[in-house]
Amino acid sequence: MRPIMSRDYMREVHVDMIISAVEMLFIDANVNLSLNVIDAIKGAIAREESTAGKEVLTELINNAEIAKEERLPVCQDTGLAVTFVEIGQDVHITGGSLFDAISEGVRRAYQKGFLRKSCCDPFTRKNTGDNTPPIIHMKIVPGNRIKIIAMPKGGGSENYGEVRMLTPAQGREGVKAFVLDMVRKGGPNPCPPIIVGVGIGGNLETSAQLSKEALMVPLGTHNSDPEIAALETEMLDEVNRTGIGPQGYGGTVTALDVHIEMMPCHIASLPVAVNIQCHAHRIKEVTL
Ligand code: SF4
């Protein structure tokens, strides 16, 4: 691997460094649940009122420990390779294209890590064979670093995501009703306890992206806007009152958290997206 070269504040980063980082991130994310998620599930065991629910949550912790020890995936569905990249405007990538580097990193991770390849043609269902192409969300930011976040995302939870263009008059109550509708529709299928990402505002595609970004917010934290933070708490209570419970066995912990990301929208619209994540919330990041 070639070293990083400095030229004043501009940095050159060779694609080899990106390939290695992406390979490491997707293997690590799949076999090693983050402490934040482990702690959230442990906290849920204390809060859960049903015996079956407590047992399920305890098994999830046992499963995560075995996966870490044996270097095995936490879940058989090792997901589509969702990747968020924040690239400093003073970074110059050398040796190839960023997209190809991320694809190669994903390819190596799923081959070397013996992770299931879950990517296929939408109609023929023919597997692409190496879990590529990755899904890449890119942001250009100030500075000369590259931050890469890997979030392998399973199909069972992704299937219960949706974008709805609400009318402005539907307001907060309309958003709450939509979120609850999606949670009830999913029931046990997205493998609760779930995490609910809600994107509000922007337009059709940005609301969807915001809902995915909402899933990256650490569990147990809230939006910096007190009003939105209160709405997150309110919605979490309502989701947990559905009684779906861990893995759908009934209980008081259906969700570990609800996170909202919001931005301004058109005066005629209220776009809202819901993106549901399962208990196997696999997310790892590195800054190069
Ligand atoms: S929804 Fe999550 S936990 Fe359930 S099978 Fe898919 S990846 Fe695994």
- Provide the edge-to-edge strand list for the sheet that holds 162-166: 162-166, 270-277, 194-202, 255-265
d(CA 182, CA 213): 18
Q: Is 46 exposed, middle or buried (0-12, 13-18, 19+ CB in 10 A)?
A: exposed
Nearest partner of 132 among 101, 108, 103, 98, judged by Cα: 103
Instruction: Pick the closest to residue 195 from 175, 217, 173 (CA basis).
Output: 217
Phi-psi region of 96 (alpha: psi -120 to 50; beta: other; left: phi over 0): left
The rounded radius of gyration (Å) of the Cα atoms in the chain is 20
Which atom of ligand 1 is nearest the CA belonging to 279?
A: 3
What integer pLDDT is reported at residue 9 of this predicted model? 75
CA 169 / ligand 1 centre spacing (Å): 36
| Mode of pairing for the β-strands spanning 255-265 and 194-202 | parallel
Q: What is the pLDDT of residue 8?
A: 55
Angle at 259 between CA 38 and CA 220, to 5 degrees: 40
pLDDT score at 1: 53
For residue 119, the model assigns a pLDDT of 98
Among the residues of the chain, which ranges form H helices?
Answer: 15-31, 35-47, 51-70, 98-112, 155-158, 171-186, 204-214, 226-240
Closest CA to 115 of 24, 216, 190, 192: 24
Taking the centre of ligand 1 as the mean of its atom positions, its distance from the CA of residue 56, in whole angstroms, is 14
Beta carbons within 8 Å of 75's beta carbon, 6+ residues apart: 154, 191, 278, 280
Q: Are 154 and 76 in contact (CB under 8 A)?
A: no
Q: Which two tokens stand for residue 115?
A: 């992770």
Centroid of ligand 1 to alpha carbon of 115 (angstroms): 14
Mutate to test the pocket of ligand 1, among 75, 131, 196 (most ligand atoms within 8 A of CB): 75
For residue 226, count other CB atoms closer than 10 A to its CB: 9
Q: Ligand 1: distance of its center to the CA of 273 in Å? A: 20
Mutation probe of ligand 1 site: the residue of 33, 77, 183 with most atoms within 8 A of C-beta? 77
pTM to 2 decimals? Answer: 0.93
Q: What was the pLDDT predicted at 20?
A: 98
| The ligand 1 atom nearest the CA atom of 190 | 1
State how far the Cα of 7 lies from the Cα of 30, in Å rounded to an integer.
Answer: 36
Q: Ligand 1 — pocket residues by CB below 6 A?
A: 75, 77, 154, 156-157, 190-191, 278-280
- Tens digits of pLDDT across the chain (288 residues): 555 554 557 899 999 999 999 999 999 999 999 999 999 999 999 999 999 999 999 999 999 999 999 999 999 999 999 999 999 999 999 999 999 999 999 999 999 999 999 999 999 999 999 999 999 999 999 999 999 999 999 999 999 999 999 999 999 999 999 999 999 999 999 999 999 999 999 999 999 999 999 999 999 999 999 999 999 999 999 999 999 999 999 999 999 999 999 999 999 999 999 999 999 999 999 999
Report the residue count for the chain: 288
Asked whether 178 and 235 are in contact (CB, 8 A), the reply is no
If you take atom 1 of ligand 1, which residue's CA is the nearest one? 156
- Alpha-carbon distance of 235 to 117, in angstroms, equals 35
